[in-house]
């Protein structure tokens, strides 16, 4: 295997000169010498030891990301897609993504070991919640991290998130503009940060339009298709004059449950009932009717997360520490 000594011999320079060139220390050598070394590297086929270089610079060029935990029977295609796009964004910035797992009992030991052994330069956090212990831990430790998602409003930490409240606000106003007055929503259990934000957008739009929101119009449940089915069954038990004519769901999966139940009882989605989802999962456009939904710009979010984490790793100040990315309402057939 070719070594740095072989390159130095081929170039007629010292090992230190070759090292300067490999590590980009252009001020230490002339341009002619740099070209001479680069030509020797090409002739010998030398490949620098990236691990050794990273250790010398006290950087691993790795960003740590805990693979999200999904309960049995549930799915999270948005975080699946985010993970893939995050890896792409990290590599475009000169990093690699180190994914790992943990459970609720050993998460702190896992993070501590990765920091102690200098396995990563920083972390990306997702699937956040109120009083998130991972965020609190990394804030206390002072280790670089950026979150995809928010936590306690009074915590000062860097994050990028989708403005879900604005997205649902736009969706509800679109339904109001089509003449709907009885609009319901299916959300997640109370305490979900993103779920509660989307519900705020719904309530704001309804309040501004002076439209009533009976308590039965807001149903909550887990990230399951069955949650949407159960909500529609409950609303169909209301007197016909009180039944919602439009539904906004906190996710596409729950919206699919609403559509499935509607079809089972002969309701024409897009005609008798308008349905709007959230996330724009790949399946959404292939439904019948195709699902109108709120698209999270995950590519822009992943780039923003990496762009924020990179200067933190380098010890540089951030121009901003909070970035809310506006989602886009994708109009298809299901909203009528």
CATH number of domain containing 11: 1.10.260.40
What is the domain extent for residue 147?
62-162+298-326
* Residues 168 and 122 occupy one common structural domain: no
CA distance 66 to 111: 9
Residue 53 belongs to a domain: no
Among residues 118, 59, 97, the alpha carbon closest in space to that of 306 is found at: 97
Residue 55 belongs to a domain: no
pLDDT higher than 60, residue 53: no
Among residues 186, 180, 298, the alpha carbon closest in space to that of 252 is found at: 186
Residue 174 belongs to a domain: yes
With bands split at pLDDT 50, 70 and 90, how would you rate the model's confidence at 27?
Answer: low
* Residues 85 and 124 occupy one common structural domain: yes
pLDDT higher than 70, residue 72: no
Predicted local distance difference test score (pLDDT) of residue 332: 97
Average pLDDT, the chain: 90
* Residues 292 and 302 occupy one common structural domain: no
With bands split at pLDDT 50, 70 and 90, how would you rate the model's confidence at 114?
Answer: very high
* Residues 152 and 72 occupy one common structural domain: yes
Predicted local distance difference test score (pLDDT) of residue 21: 75
In whole angstroms, how large is the CA radius of gyration of the chain? 26
- Mean pLDDT, residues 50-72: 68
* Residues 214 and 252 occupy one common structural domain: yes
pTM of the model as a whole: 0.77
Q: Tokens representing 182?
A: 């009885």
Q: How far is CA 68 from CA 82, 202, 288, in A?
A: 11, 28, 30
Question: CB-side exposure of 198: number of CA atoms within 13 Å?
Answer: 33
With bands split at pLDDT 50, 70 and 90, how would you rate the model's confidence at 55?
Answer: very low
Residue 108 belongs to a domain: yes
How many structural domains comprise the chain?
A: 3
* Residues 239 and 154 occupy one common structural domain: no
pLDDT higher than 80, residue 223: yes
């Amino acid at each position: 295997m070719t070594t740095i000594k072989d390159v130095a011999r081929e170039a007629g320079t010292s090992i230190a000169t070759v090292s300067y060139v490999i590590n980009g220390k252009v001020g230490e050598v002339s341009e002619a010498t740099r070209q001479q070394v680069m030509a020797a590297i090409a002739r010998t086929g030398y490949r620098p030891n990236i691990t050794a270089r990273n250790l010398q610079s006290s950087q691993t060029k790795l960003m740590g990301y805990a693979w999200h935990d999904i309960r049995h029977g549930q799915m999270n295609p948005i975080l699946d897609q985010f993970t893939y796009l995050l890896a792409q964004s990290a590599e475009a910035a000169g990093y690699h993504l180190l994914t790992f797992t943990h459970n609720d009992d050993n998460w702190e030991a896992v993070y501590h070991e990765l920091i102690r052994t200098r396995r990563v330069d920083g972390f990306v956090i997702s699937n956040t919640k109120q009083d998130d212990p991972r965020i609190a831990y990394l804030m206390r430790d002072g280790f670089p991290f950026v979150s995809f998602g928010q936590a306690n409003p009074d915590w000062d930490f860097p994050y990028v998130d989708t403005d879900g409240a604005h997205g649902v606000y736009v969706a509800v106003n679109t339904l109001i503009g089509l003449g709907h007055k009885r609009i319901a929503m299916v959300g997640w259990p109370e305490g979900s940060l993103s779920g509660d934000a989307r519900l705020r957008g719904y309530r704001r739009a309804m309040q501004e339009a002076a439209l009533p929101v009976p308590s039965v119009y807001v149903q909550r449940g887990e990230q399951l298709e069955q949650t949407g089915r159960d909500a529609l069954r409950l609303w169909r038990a209301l007197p016909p004059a009180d039944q919602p004519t439009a539904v906004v769901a906190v996710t596409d999966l729950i919206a699919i449950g609403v559509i499935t139940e509607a079809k089972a009882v002969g309701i024409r989605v897009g005609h008798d009932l308008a349905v709007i989802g959230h996330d724009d999962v790949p399946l959404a456009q292939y439904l019948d009717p195709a699902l109108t939904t709120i698209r999270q710009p995950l590519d822009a979010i992943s780039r923003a997360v990496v762009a924020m984490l990179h200067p933190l790793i380098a010890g540089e100040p951030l121009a901003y520490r909070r970035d809310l990315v506006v989602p886009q309402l994708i109009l298809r057939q299901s909203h009528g």
